[in-house]
Structure 1
């Protein structure tokens, strides 16, 4: 029983030493940074997609509930396209900061 516990302790030490070595390896840190950037980009894109779609749904409910419509439909489309452009600009700015302007760790 003690031998099993000692071997698991040794494995923990080895993996800890390996992890410590990997933390100082620049290529490992670069890969880790890229993976974090990809995860952040996906989550940010999903958040913006959710935010944009929910705002479009709420605007469409507002548009359909008011009769006669307070704004014409082509104005609604232009506003939604401007909103989409604003969101894509914000996303690209955040991604540019995350990839290029971030200080090295």
Structure 2
């Protein structure tokens, strides 16, 4: 299983409350439209701290790197990516292979 983690910092001028609402309520609606995604999870920092490098982490699971690439190339994948780009000032994507330990 491939897991993609995106570490995101909200765009300049966006309140933490607005960002949290977007990350937990609005953006997941678009994530549902990404075909082939097996699971989606969002983790938002517990409290606002301007010194934090990131405000949230999204996690997306796919069967393979090929399935991930195909999903992101669809209209749904492109729409979700564009929505993220419109709401964040920095996004670091890390593609990993899961190795469950316990």
**TM-score (ref. length: structure 2):** 0.31
- The structure with the greater share of residues assigned to strand is 2
Rg larger for: 1
User: Comparing both chains, which one has the higher relative contact order based on Cα–Cα distances under 8 Å and sequence gaps of 6 or more?
Assistant: 2
**TM-score (ref. length: structure 1):** 0.30
- The structure with the greater share of residues assigned to helix is 1
